[in-house]
Structure 1
Amino acid sequence: MGSTVDLTGKTALVTGAARGFGATTATALAGAGASVLLTDVLDDLGRETAESVGAVAAERGARAVFQHLDVTDDAGWEAATSAAVQQLGGLDVVVNNAGVEITRLVVDADPAELETMFRVNVIGTTLGTKHAFRTMRPGGAAGSGGAVVNISSVAATIAFPGIAGYSASKSAVDRLTRVAAAESGRLGYGVRVNCVYPGLVPTEMGVKLAVETSALGLFESPDAAVAAVVGLTPLGRLGEPADIADVVLFLASDASRFMTGAGVPVDGGMGM
C-alpha cells in the first residue's frame, strides 16, 4: 500500500484516525514516509493507534503522535494544526476523514440526527480546510503550501435508500472541496483541495449501514443489503480501506500536483 508514493519529510494530519479508514490512512501515510498527527475524540484508542502507526513511521525516520480533536470545535482545530507544526515540524497534508452516518428514512427524519451529521461531516470538514489554509498558505505557521484531501462518499453520487441526510452532507463536502480549491488558487495559497468518493467498505460504519437499512425494511437482511451494493458495483466486490488509502496518498503527493477541485470515485464503478 502506497509503495510508489514518497512523502518523506512531509507532515500529515488525519481526523477520525483512531480506527477504521482513518487508521488505515494514517498507517499508509506513515508507510510513505510522512510524520502523522492522528486526531480523534476517542482518546484511548487514538493513542493506541498512534503507537502502532508510530512503529511504521519510525521505519522511515518519521514520527506519529495523537492529539484530541473534536472536528466541530474551531479552537480545537487551531490547537491541532499548531501541534502538527510544533511537534512534527510542519504541516503539508490534511485528510478530513472524520464522519458520522445515521440511517433514517426521509419520512422519519430527525432534526437532531441531521444536525449531528452536518456538524461533523460539513462543519468539521470546513473547519479542517480553513485551518489547513491558514497554516499552509504563505505567512502561515508552515507556509509551504500543501494538499487537503476531503473524504466524501459514493452516497454523494447515487440515490441509495435510507441515507438521505448522510448523502446530503457528503454532497456538501463535494461542493465545499471545489469552492475551497477555487479560492486557494485565486488567492495564491498553494494548497490543492480534492476529495474522494469511497464506495461501501466493510468498516464498522459500513457494517452498521447494512444492518440498519435491513432493519428499516429496505432489504431482507444485512447480507441482502451487501449483495445489493455488490450488484451495483461493476468490479463486483466491496471496497477495502487500502483501496481508498492508496488514492488519498496519490492526492497527497506531488504525483497529483496539477489536480485540484477534483472528486475522485473509488467505488468500483458504483457511482458511474
Structure 2
Amino acid sequence: MPEPMPLQGKIALVTGASRGIGRATAVALSEAGAHVLIHYGRSAREAESLVAEIKAKGGRADAVSADLATPDGPASLAQQVRSLASDRLDVLVLNAGVSKAARIPDYTAEDLDLLFATNVRGPFLLVQQLLPILGDGSNVTVITSIGARSVVGQPGVDNPSILAYASTKGALETLVRNWAAILGPGGIRVNAVAPGVIDTDMSNFTKTEAGREIALGMQALKRIGKPEDVADVVAFLASDGARWITGASIPVDGGTKL
C-alpha cells in the first residue's frame, strides 16, 4: 500500500525556500502531498530548480518572488499567493531571514534595520496580508532559533556575536504566542521551531573544525544538524497529528545546552 499523504490536497507557502532549511521544508511538505509555493528573494535559479525537482517526482510546486525586507514586499507576495491559492492557504512557513555576526561596536543602524525589516517586519506584515485566506485548520510555523532563548558563542565585548539576529528571533517567538492566542479561536494554529546549529549555506559556524567542535560540545547528540532534521518537524506541525499544539516553541537542536 502507498504511504498516506497527510497534506494531500493542501496548499503551502514556504518563505526563503530556495536553499537550506526552507528548501528541505518545501521538499518535506511536497512529499507529504502539499502543493508548495516556493518563495525566493534573489535566488531565482535555485527556486526554479527546486520547482522542477518537485514536479519531476510527481508533486506540485510554483515559484513566487518578493523582497520581504521592503515595506511593500509582503503585500506583493500575498497577492501572488492569493492568485495561486484562491481563497485558502493551509500551511504557512515563515523561514526567510538574514543573519549577521559582529562585535557590539561594529553594528550599524543599517545592520539593525535590515535584520528587523527582514526577520520581524516581513513576517508580521505577511501574516497580516494573508489573514483573509487563513482559516479553520490552517497553521503557521515560524523558524526561530536557539539564540532566542540561549546565548550562543563566547560572550565578550571583543568577540563577534549574533545578539542582534538573536533578538529578532526573540521578537518572533513573542509574535508566535500572540498570534496563537489571537488566531486560535478561528481554528488557526501558530508554532515556532527553534533550530540549533544546522549545516546550511548561511551557517558559517559549521564551516570550520573549531565551530563544529564547539557545536558538538554544546549538544547531547553528537552530530551536526541537517536541514532535514528541522523540515521533518515542520511537516509534522503542518499535519493533523499536531492538531492540539499551538503557541509552542519546539527546540530542534540535538539537546543543546541541556
Return the TM-score normalized by structure 1. 0.84
Pair 1:32–1:151, CA change in 2 (3 A) = same
1:94 match: secondary structure: strand
231-240 or 4-13, which deviates more: 4-13
Q: Which whole-Å deviations, capped at 9, do the CAs of 1:57-96 have from their partners, x for residues lacking one? A: x2xxx41000112223464434433433433453100000
1:63 counterpart = 2:49: no
What is the match of residue 154 of structure 1? Answer: 146
Q: Is the 8 A contact 2:78 2:126 kept in 1?
A: no
Pair 1:4–1:235, CA change in 2 (3 A) = farther
247-256 or 71-80, which deviates more: 71-80
What is the match of residue 25 of structure 1? Answer: 25
What is the match of residue 226 of structure 2? Answer: 240
Shift of 1:5: 5.8
1:205 match: secondary structure: coil
Aligned equivalents of 1:15, 1:52: Cα separation in 2: 18
Pair 1:118–1:44, CA change in 2 (3 A) = same
Aligned equivalents of 2:20, 2:102: Cα separation in 1: 22
Q: Is the 8 A contact 1:174 1:195 kept in 2?
A: yes
Q: How does 1:134-145 map to 2 (within 5 A)?
A: 134-137=132-135, 144-145=136-137
Q: How does 1:189-228 map to 2 (within 5 A)?
A: 189-206=186-203, 208-209=204-205, 222-228=208-214
Question: Aligned match of 2:243 in 257, 260, 267?
Answer: 257
Q: How does 1:96-115 map to 2 (within 5 A)?
A: 96-115=94-113
Aligned equivalents of 1:13, 1:254: Cα separation in 2: 17
Q: Which whole-Å deviations, capped at 9, do the CAs of 1:218-255 have from their partners, x for residues lacking one? A: xxxx3112211110001112111111001000111111
Q: Which whole-Å deviations, capped at 9, do the CAs of 1:85-134 have from their partners, x for residues lacking one? A: 43345310000000101111223222211211111111122123223323
Shift of 1:8: 0.3
Q: Where in structure 1 are there 5+ consecutive unaligned residues?
A: 138-143, 212-221
What is the match of residue 217 of structure 1? Answer: none
| Paired residue type of 2:19 | R
Question: Aligned match of 2:118 in 107, 117, 120?
Answer: 120
Aligned equivalents of 1:30, 1:74: Cα separation in 2: 30
Q: Which whole-Å deviations, capped at 9, do the CAs of 1:167-190 have from their partners, x for residues lacking one? A: 1111111111111111112xx332
Shift of 1:136: 1.0
1:50 match: secondary structure: helix
Q: Is the 8 A contact 1:77 1:128 kept in 2?
A: yes
Q: How much is the aligned-residue C-alpha RMSD, in angstroms?
A: 1.9
Aligned equivalents of 1:92, 1:50: Cα separation in 2: 19
Aligned equivalents of 2:200, 2:76: Cα separation in 1: 29
Shift of 1:54: 2.5
Q: Is the 8 A contact 2:75 2:126 kept in 1?
A: no
| Paired residue type of 2:15 | T
Shift of 1:55: 2.4
149-158 or 66-75, which deviates more: 66-75
What is the match of residue 48 of structure 1? Answer: 49
What is the match of residue 219 of structure 1? Answer: none
What is the match of residue 140 of structure 1? Answer: none
Q: Is the 8 A contact 2:191 2:248 kept in 1?
A: yes
Return the TM-score normalized by structure 2. 0.89
Q: Where in structure 2 are there 5+ consecutive unaligned residues?
A: 154-160
6-15 or 64-73, which deviates more: 64-73
Question: Aligned match of 1:87 in 77, 84, 88?
Answer: 84
Q: Which whole-Å deviations, capped at 9, do the CAs of 1:134-170 have from their partners, x for residues lacking one? A: 3213xxxxxx440000000111121113111111111
